[in-house]
Chains A and B, each alone.
Chain A
Amino acid sequence: MRIPVLVLVVLIACATAAPLVAPYAPEGIDLARRREVPSATHWFGTDELGRDVFSRVIYGARVSLAVGMLSAVVAGACGVAIGGVAGYAGGAVDAALMRITDGMLAIPRLPLLMIAGVVLQPSVPLLILLVGLVGWMETARVVRAEFRTLSSIGFVEGARAAGAGHVRVLVRHLFPNAAQAVAVSLTLAVARGVLLESALSFFGVGVRPPAASWGNMLYQAQAALSSEPWLAIAPGVFILITTVSVNLIGDRLASRPAA
Chain B
Amino acid sequence: MIRFVARRSLQALPLLFIVSALVFLLIHAAPGGPLAIYLSNPNVRPEDIERLRRALGLDRPLWLQYWNWLWAFVRGDWGYSFSDGRPVTARILERTPATIELVSLSLACALVLTIPVGIVAAMRKGRWFDRIATGLSMAGISLPGFWFGLLLQIVFAAGLGWLPSSGRSTPGADDAIDQLQHLLLPTIVLATVLASGWSRYLRGSMIDTLSMPFIASARARGLPMRRVVLRHALRNALGPLVAIVTVDAALLVSGAVVTESVFAWPGLGSLFTEALARRDYTVLMALLMLSASAVVLFNLIADALQALIDPRAAAA
Q: Which residues of A contact B (CB under 8 A)?
A: 99-100, 102-108, 110-112, 114-116, 118-120, 191, 195, 198-199, 202-203, 205, 218, 221-222, 225-226, 229, 232-233, 235-236, 239-240, 243-244, 246-248, 251
Contacts and interface: CB of A to CB of B under 8 A. Distances in A.
Contacts, number: 127
Question: In this complex, which of A104, A115, A226, A243 has the most chain B Cβ atoms within 10 angstroms of its Cβ?
Answer: A115
Interface in B187-242: none
Interface of B: 14-15, 18-19, 22-23, 26-27, 30-31, 36, 138-139, 141-147, 150-151, 153-154, 157-159, 165, 251, 254-255, 257-258, 261-262, 272-273, 276, 279, 284, 287-288, 291-292, 295-296, 299
A112 B142 contact: no
B251 A108 contact: yes
A191 B196 CA distance: 15
Given A205-B276, A243-B142, A106 B150 contact: no
Instruction: Describe A's contact surface by its main secondary structure.
Output: helix
A226 B251 contact: no
B167 to A, nearest CB: 15
A169 B14 CA distance: 33
Nearest to B255: A108
A108 B292 contact: yes
A139 B158 CA distance: 42
Given A110-B257, A229-B158, A236-B144, A218 B150 contact: yes
Given A106-B19, A107-B19, A107-B22, A99 B14 contact: yes
B22 A244 contact: no
A240 B142 contact: yes
A103 B19 contact: yes
Nearest to A114: B276
A198 B144 contact: yes
B154 to A, nearest CB: 4
Given A106-B296, A118-B276, A240 B158 contact: no
Contacts of B279: 118-119
B151 A236 contact: yes
Contact of B150 (A100, A112, A115, A221): A221
Given A99-B14, A112-B26, A236 B150 contact: yes
B15 A111 contact: no
A66 B157 CA distance: 34
